[in-house]
Homo-oligomer: A and B are copies of this chain.
């Protein structure tokens, strides 16, 4: 209840030392005598001192702010929430705090948020970019020597590190699984064609088709918004072509649910009459009916790895960009129809 806040000078006065000594104690310097250190610490506790990081950052004007920025495109989505949690885990235990903001896929907001974080002197940024983010959006950051790690979605051309899941491989094993269940006409449904993730997943589809000797009919590749509604729309189009598919790999789980809706609207039961595979393994995937077969990625793991990479770059001063791909795995549930097969066949999967 003194006038203002209690500063290092107040501590110094009360402990009978100089402010410099108090500062040394604060930084855990070995130069200071144990007795003095104890005394100073005692006084600090007594007076209820709280460290002013702002002032400290000002002086040691560098990347020592102990703040790392985290910007995600959709925190409502459990996937990205998990990502943020993963980041928080490693960031917190390294004594940093995280500035977290949500852009809701809005590029302008993303710019604002990043600018604001710069003003606050973040020492690094982890970004799960909003759709259509360009390298130019990250340019000022990297130019200022602030390490940036993009996660989940790549930003083409950006000179930043990245941690993304193995999109190509994921769709590849999905298609492979469907082929092993006897499907030959397999559609690739959903997603925006102008995104890097789409490209990678489509590449996986093409590679699998080639590997399994399927003819890769362009009619079977259908883009649409990666949402539930987009899924219903996509399956509608897929079933309107001449030589109909009997199975589909979907851009993500939300879209796969929409595909299930669309199938039912046509009187087809997903998992029995048509095989569906999603991507992401969101939390609802296992409780939905039918339970969704999907490609599981580990968002929390991606978050952790992104944070580790960022911290490494921060402490290294300046490291060159590094790209990590996080592996994925197929989770077989009901929507692919595998559960309908006789047991001896299922064991082969």
Partner-B contacts on A (CB < 8 A): 4-5, 48, 50-55, 57-58, 61, 65, 67, 75-76, 78, 81-82, 84-85, 88, 92, 97-102, 109, 112-113, 115-121, 140, 144, 257, 283-284, 287-289
Contacts and interface: CB of A to CB of B under 8 A. Distances in A.
27 contacts: A5-B61, A5-B144, A50-B118, A52-B121, A53-B119, A53-B121, A54-B58, A54-B121, A75-B85, A76-B78, A76-B81, A76-B82, A78-B283, A84-B102, A92-B101, A92-B112, A92-B113, A97-B113, A97-B117, A98-B99, A99-B100, A100-B100, A257-B287, A283-B283, A283-B284, A284-B287, A287-B289
Contacts of A144: 5, 50
B97 A98 contact: no
A53 B58 CA distance: 10
A177 to B, nearest CB: 23
8 tightest A-B CB contacts, nearest first: A100-B100, A81-B81, A54-B54, A53-B119, A51-B119, A287-B288, A88-B102, A54-B57
A88 B112 CA distance: 13
Contacts of A289: 287, 289
Contacts of A117: 97
Contacts of A5: 61, 144
A270 to B, nearest CB: 13
Nearest to A1: B143
Contact of A67 (B75, B120, B288): B120
B101 A98 contact: yes
Contacts of A121: 52-54
User: Max chain B CB contacts within 10 Å: which of A54, A57, A116, A121?
Assistant: A54
A264 to B, nearest CB: 13
Given A4-B61, A61-B4, A287-B284, A76 B85 contact: yes
A82 B51 CA distance: 32
Given A4-B61, A54-B57, A84-B102, 19 more contacts: A5-B61, A5-B144, A50-B115, A52-B121, A53-B119, A53-B120, A54-B54, A54-B121, A55-B58, A75-B81, A75-B88, A76-B82, A81-B81, A88-B100, A97-B113, A98-B99, A99-B99, A100-B100, A257-B287
Nearest to A67: B120
Contact of A101 (B51, B81, B97, B115): B97
A92 B100 CA distance: 11
